[in-house]
Amino acid sequence: MDDATRTELEAAAFRRLVAHLRARADVQNIDMMNLAGFCRNCLSNWYQDAAQERGIEMGKEDAREVVYGMPYSEWKARHQTEATPEQQAAFVHSHKH
């Protein structure tokens, strides 16, 4: 497979992941962190890092809007719930390693 095709496939997979995460607003970031070790914020940070590595200025909020499909503050108001004590404990436990 040539580099251009691989890049196209990777971009398509990224777009599909972002669309899936937007459709699953019921899945909380803390649950993603506890299970997978990353969340929407991590993905937006990686996107911002990739932009900056290519000399493209991008702020954290701009990168989050790419992933969330709306300003982060709006997504939080619509979809984010308060983390339960169990979720918080699982987060602490999962990040000890």
CA distance 29 to 41: 8
For position 53, what pLDDT does the model report? 97
> Looking at the predicted structure, is the pLDDT value of residue 97 above 80?
no
For position 5, what pLDDT does the model report? 97
**pLDDT tens for each residue of 79-94:** 999 999 999 998 888 8
> Looking at the predicted structure, is the pLDDT value of residue 96 above 80?
no
3-class state of residue 55 by DSSP:
coil
CA distance 27 to 21: 8
Q: Is 51 exposed, middle or buried (0-12, 13-18, 19+ CB in 10 A)?
A: middle
Tokens of 1: 């497979």
- Helices (H) and strands (E) in the chain — how many of each? 6, 0
> Looking at the predicted structure, is the pLDDT value of residue 18 above 70?
yes
The arithmetic mean of pLDDT across residues 66-76, rounded, is 97
Domains of the chain: 3-94 (1.10.3340.10)
* Closest by Cα among 54, 51, 53, 75 to 63: 51
**pLDDT tens for each residue of 21-69:** 999 999 999 999 999 999 999 999 999 999 999 999 999 999 999 999 9
